[in-house]
Structure 1
Amino acid sequence: MNRLIINKLTFKVFCFLVFMMGVVVPKIAFCQEITVQVGTTTIGLNEDFEVTVTVKDGELKKYSKFPKINGMDKAEIYTSQSINFVNGQVSKTQAVTQRYRASRQGTYFLRPFTMTVNGEQVRHAGASIDVKGKSTTTNPFDSFWGRTENTEYISVQDDAFFAITTNKQNPYIGEGFTITMSFYVAVSNRATLNFYELGEQKADILKQIRPKNALEENFNIIQPVPEMVKINGKDYRQYKVYQAVFYSLSPQQISIPAIPFKMVKYDVAVNSQSIFNQMKENIKTYYSEPVSITVKELPPHPLKDQVPVGNYILKEQIASKNLETGQSVQYQFRIEGEGNLSVIEKPQIPKTGNFDFYEPTISEMLRRNNNAVYGTKDFNYYIIPNEPGLYPMKDYFSYIFFNTKKDDYDTLASQITLSVTGESRKNASIRSADLGSFYDRINEESNSLRSKNEITWEKYGINGIAVLFALVLGLSILIGKKVRQRDLDKEE
């Protein structure tokens, strides 16, 4: 009975929660209102035309470029924010306004356009703008918007820098080196900064910094996320814009020049009486320091053009070290560490009759972390021993590579020794082979000795067939001659 009451109460609570989710969640999910509006379309030559993006009950995080108007120049961009308290509820509005100026009177056209605001596309139908002579009238709301006042802005000193860095300046051929492009903002920074056309800038910069004749392992950074770092004892937020590990295929000199990087920096109004025009958008260009990377040859070695390069260790597993001949066992040869795992091939196993080695299944796993690419590459074998004995597996499984940690060539060799017991499988292999019908007739034939000169029925039979064949052949030739002679007589 008690359980029934509890179940009913649980069901009622569940229904209530579902109802509340249906009522409350939609309001939360869709409370953000985004609009794109244009200002007055009939203006004086001394006035500005405006396009404003407004986000109500939300935060204006990101927006695309404002549209172009043929014949009009883009002027300042202003941002504004207002907070209202209505019936005990807080309403927040953020806006950004692009101003346009005409140099002469006439009619200008703002074509239909679409802007992406906070990831959402907002479309506007466009407008026709009439620019008259200089206006002498005053809008009663101009003081509210801050248009009549001569607003003064000051530039707040920023504490930030742009950098392109590498973790290795003298890597070997095939050794991974990381190139990172980041923007650093000090924790103590007071200036307001924002990214400017990040996608376009990034694409242009990558054309200048990507090394030629090198393989790339991209970290695929989509959105910069701040990470706390300490530089010379000072705390910074690092915004990584791009990061990748490169493996050069040849010796080369890589030179990355000082690269410009633009950011939006806001000046702050000092005498504005309006809630708008509190900040003015400016573009500031930062420059990275030049970077030089020298890729060097590997030391001399007979296999220097074939061995992989990296910092690797060997991990191996086997189901059992004690086997019977003919008993299969699974063996895993795993190469693990930092480097370009894609160039690692399966171990070269010498030919032997002591074991049957089947082709391995191969799997690979990569992990990008701490400015490097780590991973594992597994080679899983099935092995069948054929001969009894003790067998160090290093005689069959070893791998030569250039160890970047030791600056020398190194070998990963198996540490496992197999103990094989049982009978040799060589005789079993002979018995299992199909020797054909010739051997099947051995038991049926006589094993008594016969004289070399003894005449047997087999000899008579073979000789008789040969004589008969000769007679038929001669008769055929004779008949053919007579037929040809008769044909010649008829023609005459």
Structure 2
Amino acid sequence: MVMQELFNRCNRIGMLAGMLLIAGIWPLAGFAQEVEFRASASPRVVETGERFRVSFSVNAEGENFEAPSFEHFAILSGPNMSTSTSVQIINGQMTRTVSYSYNFVLQAVEEGTFTIGKARVEVEGKSYETEEITVEVVKGSAPSAPATPAPSATPEISGVKDEDLFVQVITDRKEVYQGEHLIATVKLFTRLDLSGIGDRKFPSFSGFLQQDIELPDQNYLQREVVNGKVYGTLVLRQIVLIPQRSGTLTINPMELECHVRQRVSRGTGSIFDDFFDSFRTVTRTVSSDPLQIRVKPLPDEAPASFEGLVGRYTLDASVDREEVVADEAVTFTLKVTGTGNLKLMSPPAVNLPPDFETYDPRVTMDINHTVSGSKGTKSFEYLMVPRSPGAYRIPPVEVSYFDPEKEQYVTWESPAFNLKVVPREPGEEGTVVTGFGKEDIRFIGKDIRFIKTGDIPLRQDTKNPVGQVWFYLTYPLVILVFMAVLLLRKRRTEMMRNTELMRNRRASRQARKRLKLAADALKKQQLDRFYEEVSRACWGYLSDKLSIPLAELNRDNALAALALHEIPGELAGEYLDTIDHCEQARYAGKTALDDPGQVYRKAMKLITALEQNLK
């Protein structure tokens, strides 16, 4: 009994100590990292009369917050303070991250480029400041796409000007030398509400060598000012182009199919029309203008060592050793680094002594394609094997290239290398040389192998599979497996042909992927992108589940299709109301559901409910 009482007391003391330890560590965990105080504005380019959000975030609890004056802007609300906390325990180590945000909703009232000053906050008695941020305000304009009276059987764009939706192929230069690179950017400009992009037909770029520049996986519209108007721009493709011939080269038009969401008016003349209006998706094809590039020929009287290399380069040559035993391999390396058409460079000629056995050079490249051009390194490794002892000289290697900036040829010459070859000791074996362009493998100094002599143990294999029971059972088993594979493949082919069934099955999975993107945007406080992804998830789910093309889907036919599937009217109405909330949040900035987290959870719940009813 005494031992049991002692054990219980120790157990209680241990639990109390653990609780005190956690209580002591918990408040300090958030301050283990350096304090960061940042400012952000979304978007950074706005029109007069447009509302936008400015946030000041600090990763520690602060006090005595001082906001900037916000001159040239009207303050609609703020500061609205929000707090988020996350705790992670990895390998027994707890990390606590906190974020305190002071949010303002501003309205642009005059044109110009304005600077929002620094905000200040105190954390544990120390003052911190944000960086200044710049917001550009341009003249506002009326919406380009008014509400249409009623949906038609074949949706067409109405009330949309060409200047509201267009695509361009933009190059950084219009005049280059043959072999000199230029950067082409295919960019979409829109002032409309795009719901998606359809077929794309990129230019062929005939007469150019092309290398694609890698774009981010998640590519979103960015705001830009063009001719005093705010556009949403999307980079569709960026390419490094290298002209292969001189003269005037034409870049053909880019063709692009865009899906635009238009408001459909009820047409009753009521003041509630704007609230109860629905949307439809219409398709418009846009194309860019042809673009001409003037390619100048390279100057005459090129050096004899010039083989078409254009750009700016540095070169380096080396040998791995200057003294070698006869029949041992030596490597001569030539490395070219720079920006230009390096990929097209062929191995330079190296004049070696006749007593040297040579192999095809090993070529390695490390080239990156960026908006600055094709930049990297190309190396040539020449393997040579001197057969006779003596003193030899590797003559200089000459490489010439054309520098477009200097508009002249540049010739580089490597230094000469002296190589001393000493005789091999009697009985010493040579080096095995493989993998440098010759099919046969040479064993220098040991070309002939002796035949093995003496007794060799041999045994007769008596296990003959023919006549065994399992040997005959294999035939029907193989036939059964073959028939099963054929049946499974036939069934899979039939399922793949049934596109409606495939879309129906993947509807929920695609919607959850969209909602995951929305959750990521919510964590980053990108509310416009958050509501856009939730809206796309909801519309995309209905399109896949009801087998209605996205371009033809609107509120009316969605309600009718859900009713045919015996979906309760209350559930269908709540689902479409959630989509309307997202649209209002994107354009009006405020909805009945002010909490984005609530919108996310509601969308997830409604999609799950529809999935259960539409099976």
Range into which the TM-score falls when normalised by the shorter chain? 0.3 to 0.5
Structure 1 or 2: larger helix share?
2
Which TM-score applies when normalising by structure 2? 0.36
Structure 1 or 2: larger strand share?
1
Larger radius of gyration: 1
Q: Which protein has greater RCO, CA pairs closer than 8 Å, 6+ apart? A: 1
